[in-house]
Each structure stands twice: as C-alpha cells, then as structure tokens.
Amino acid sequence: MINLKLTCRSAFILAVAATLPFAAPAQAATKIQHLISPGGIEAWFVQDSTVPLIAMEYAFAGGAAQDPADKPGVGNLVADTLDEGEGDLDSSAFHERLERRAIDLSFSVARDYFRGSLRMLKDNKEEAFGLLHGALTSPHFASVDVERIRSQIIAGLKRDTVSPNALAGHKFLEVAFGDHPYGRPSSGTLESVPQITIADLKDYTRRVLAKNTLKIAVVGDVDPATLGKLLDQTFGDLPANASLTPVADVEMARPPQRAFVPLDVPQTTITFGSPGVMRHDPDFMAAYVVNHILGGGGLSSRLYREVREKRGLAYSVYGALTWMEHSSLFIGNTGTRADRAGETIDAIEKEVRRMAEEGPTQQELDEAKSYLKGSQMLALDTSAKLAGGLLQYQLDRLPIDYLEKRNALVDAVTLDDAKKAAKRLWGNGLITVVVGRAPQAAAEPVAAPATQAN
C-alpha cells in the first residue's frame, strides 16, 4: 500500500522542480509585515514573488504539556491523525487531494505548542487552505484511522525500548523535571497510548486549537489582501479562546547527578546537561555564544576537539541550549565504545569544568560571533525556513524587527559576559545519563544471539 503522506511530500518537491530550474532563496532582508486580516487574524508576512510558492508555519499554545497526566501522548496522536480525513473526505480521499495538487500539509506537537505546516504552489492556495480548514475544524478521527496510527506509534515506542538515544533522552527528562509535564514523554508510553480514546482526541482539539493563542508566519507569492481572506477562511471558525490547563514554571534538577540505564549494546550513549537560560534572560545571548564555543560549533567546538580529535573517543559530540515556556536547559549527547565510556565522561566533565572556571578566550569569542552572525542568514535561505524562523521569533515574543537587531546583540557580548554565562551554565557540573553495559561488563564482547540449526 502506498504511503500517501510520503507520496504527498515527494509530489510537492517534484512539482516545484518541474516548475523552476532553480529555487531562489527567500531574502531575510525583505520587509516583514504585521498583517491583520479583516476578521482579526494576525500574521507575520513576507511577500516574495521570486518563486510561485507559499509557505505557512503556525502554532497554538499548549502542546504536549496539555496531555492528561495519566495519558501522555494525546497531543502527539492528535497531530498524527488530524490529517486523516475531514468533512466528506475520508483519509484516502483527503490525501489524494493533497497529492494531486502537490500540497504539503503536516502537524506536530512540541512541549508547549501544537504546530502546523502548509506549503503549496500559489495556484493551489485556495484548495490548500481549504483542506487545512477542514482538518482543523472537522477532523474525522475515524476509529479505523486512529487505530492504524496508534499501532504505528506503539511500534515506535517498542523500538524506543531498545534505542540507546531514546532511553537516554527519556531518562534525562525524567531526572531533570520529575513529575512536571516536561518530564513525561511527549510521544506517550506503552501503557498510556493504548488507553487514549477518540473522546480524548476531540477534547484536546477543543481545548487547544483556538484563535487567541494562534501565531502565524507566511512567506510567499500572495498579496496581503488575498492572504487576509485565506487566513479568515482557514482559522476564523476556530473557538475564540483556548481552555488550557495551567502549567507551572519549573527549575531543572540541580547537578551534579548521574543515572545509569542498562542495555546490552556495544556502544554506550551519554546524554549530559545542566540548567539553561530562558530566552528573555539578560544573559541569554552570552550563553548562546559560549554554548557555541563549548559544544555547538560542530568541528570547531571544544568538546569535539577534546573528545574526538585528541582522544578519538567518539564520532561526534554536541551541546545545545533549549528553552521552553516554563524552563530551560543545556543538553548534550555523544556515543562511544562501551569500554571507553568512563574515559569519555571524564573528558566531557573536565572540559565543561574548565569552561566554567576560565571561560573562553578572546579569539574563541571573536570567531564564534563571526560564525553566528553569518550562519543566521544561511538558516533562513528558503521560504519554508524563513517562515519557520519568523514563527519561532513570535513564539519567543521577540520584536518584528529582531532580524535587523540580532547581529548587534551578538556583537555586544563581551568576554566578561561570556565568562559569566559559562560559570552560570556549568559551574555546578552536569546531570549525566549513561545508557549501555554495566561498567564491569563493558570490557566483554556482546554475546551473539543464539541460532537454531536448520
């Protein structure tokens, strides 16, 4: 059976390729408009007629944090089933419409937001926005489709039980956030997903999909008046106000801590982290820059040089700042041979401690700032990327002219700022989660599975 969701995405790419010899990048310097539709729907909008495409990214507040405490995974199941038919269209007919017009429509759930993405050729905009309207306002949630998607999610959760990276990520969030919604797996569990009912899915959409928390970014070949009408037709019938369960602010658990998850595999996965910095904290940009120096700079980062280049302990190692509505963290990951896990952890902790105590050098700071200023434009070089960036800036409650100001904010970070941020991030050490073989067994080869002679 053909996977219509994958086919639809392929059809979109092929249609664009057939229309254009080259895809001109969206220009981040293009004026960003604050559009308000006749019905009061707001969006950040960049009109770009260089290619006959329209990309829209949007989000509703809520996300996986709105899952019932005893049923994690509701929002994720909603995201996976919302495009399985609407109105008079069953799942097959709905996806055939998307495929025929090369419309790329998808939904996803994050910790704090329920997100959607829509891309189309400009000539198909009315049908694309109409299908999205139906998915949001009259989804089928037919039992046959829900059960099919549920079985796919359960299969993925079963794979996660033997996935070192999945186990490490789940355990890290559990240690970091405990019983808080951030500590629960957004995809659900093998116990919770089978218990989710269609009534749960309908209740989630009723509570979460509402106009008062909606943020929208659109980039493409459409005029403001036409876009305003399309936004009203698409989102205007949604409830005026969401009915969200309050989520408390939470501080990540204080390091140092270490947890071990046994798994009989030859390579050990190591996830490490510490409390982060919220997006509107005065230290955020300094933390962002110093994180790039420590672990976010790919081949140029300190962790890469110490762990990969000098010691050959791992193929890759990285660290990143992550911020949500109610907390923030620094999180990193690497994988190494089971018998070298202890050495790898020691190398990471030593380098993190050195950064916390000494901070970066002036040369490291200058090089990081130069890279971060140049790479931002490359990260927004298509309509879809630019729309995604503009949506994220709205979710972060940044001003509409943030792109114009960003490089100056990076440049303003001083060496003292960077040192202060490094101490704040890593001065107390790390929470470390290790998934793999027990230390006493690490030097032994993994036993081969028993085979039966034919």
For each of the chain's 454 residues, which pLDDT tens digit applies?
A: 334 343 343 333 333 333 333 333 334 446 899 999 999 999 999 999 999 999 999 999 999 999 999 999 999 999 999 999 988 899 999 999 999 999 999 999 999 999 999 999 999 999 999 999 999 999 999 999 999 999 999 999 999 999 999 999 999 999 999 999 999 999 999 999 999 999 999 999 999 999 999 999 999 999 999 999 999 999 999 999 999 999 999 999 999 999 999 999 999 999 999 999 999 999 999 999 999 999 987 788 999 999 999 999 999 999 999 999 999 999 999 999 999 999 999 999 999 999 999 999 999 999 999 999 988 877 888 899 999 999 999 999 999 999 999 999 999 999 999 999 999 999 999 999 999 998 755 444 444 433 333 3
Q: What is the pLDDT of residues 27-40, one digit of tens each?
A: 444 689 999 999 99
d(CA 122, CA 19): 12
DSSP letter (8 states) at residue 89 = B
DSSP letter (8 states) at residue 139 = B
d(CA 82, CA 107): 8
d(CA 291, CA 162): 30
d(CA 253, CA 177): 6
Bridge partners of residue 56, in order along the sequence: 118, 218
Give me the phi and psi of 56, to 5 degrees please.
-130, 130
One-letter amino acid at 275 equals P
- Reported as half-sphere exposure (CB side, CA atoms, 13 A), residue 282 has a value of 2
**CA-closest candidate to residue 266, choices 435, 429, 413, 73:** 435
The pTM score is 0.88
Torsion sign over Cα 260, 265, 267, 271: negative
Name all domains of the chain by residue range, CATH numbers in brackets: 25-235 (3.30.830.10), 257-438 (3.30.830.10)
Q: Are 12 and 52 in contact (CB under 8 A)?
A: no
Q: How far is CA 40 from the centre of its chain?
A: 28
Residue 113, C-beta contacts closer than 8 angstroms, at least 6 positions apart: 59, 60, 61, 62, 63, 395
> Looking at residue 299, what is its pLDDT?
82
Q: Tell me the Ramachandran region of residue 326: left when phi exceeds 0, alpha when psi lies from -120 to 50, beta otherwise.
A: alpha
d(CA 87, CA 246): 32
Bridge partners of residue 267, in order along the sequence: 337
Residue 378, C-beta contacts closer than 8 angstroms, at least 6 positions apart: none
d(CA 288, CA 371): 12
Give CA torsion, residues 153, 158, 159, 162, to 10 deg: 150
Q: How far is CA 274 from CA 74, 253, 413, in A?
A: 28, 8, 22
